[in-house]
Amino acid sequence: MPGGFRIRAATTDDVPALFELIKGLAAYERLLEQLSATEESLRSHLFGARPAAEAVLAEEHGVAVGFALYFHNFSTFLGRPGLYLEDLFVRPEYRGRGYGKALMVFVARLAQARDCGRLEWSVLDWNRPAREFYRTLGARPLDDWIGQRMTGEAIARLAGHRLPGEDG
């Protein structure tokens, strides 16, 4: 990595740069049409009264070249917290210089310092470069687990069900 590199916690002042990186990630993952985040939603959910996640920026001479966004989960089997890496992204023109590894090292050190039993993330099946990169770091795929997801209408439908004993 060239001189002038650093990783630091994102602040509310970094929301515009973070949002640009997120748009870059969405374009890379061919999911730009699904991007509904805004600078305001990021500001509110990352830096509001009850932050839902944390983000760090990788910078070269003060220019944001990548980011990692993560949050805590909990393993009932381990009885310990874990970190879930929601997104890791390095601008294409900065790849191959060690920024992605530096972000992963930062997050791994954070997980270790916070006594996390796991560091987990998902990677798109077609993203072979990312899958190979993660394997070089010692990650292994969880072939026996299938991710599940609910969004929008499905969440609303399920939340609308009455629980036993509820009047209605």
Which one is catalytic: 70, 94, 99, 134? 134
- Six token digits for residue 137: 């770091």
What gap in Å lies between CA 16 and CA 159, rounded to an integer?
A: 33
DSSP class of residue 74 equals E
Q: Which is nearest to 120 in space by CA: 78, 77, 71, 80?
A: 71
Give yes or no: 134 in active site: yes
DSSP class of residue 55 equals E
CA atoms lying within 13 Å on the CB side of residue 45: 12
What gap in Å lies between CA 120 and CA 74, rounded to an integer?
A: 11
Catalytic residues: 134
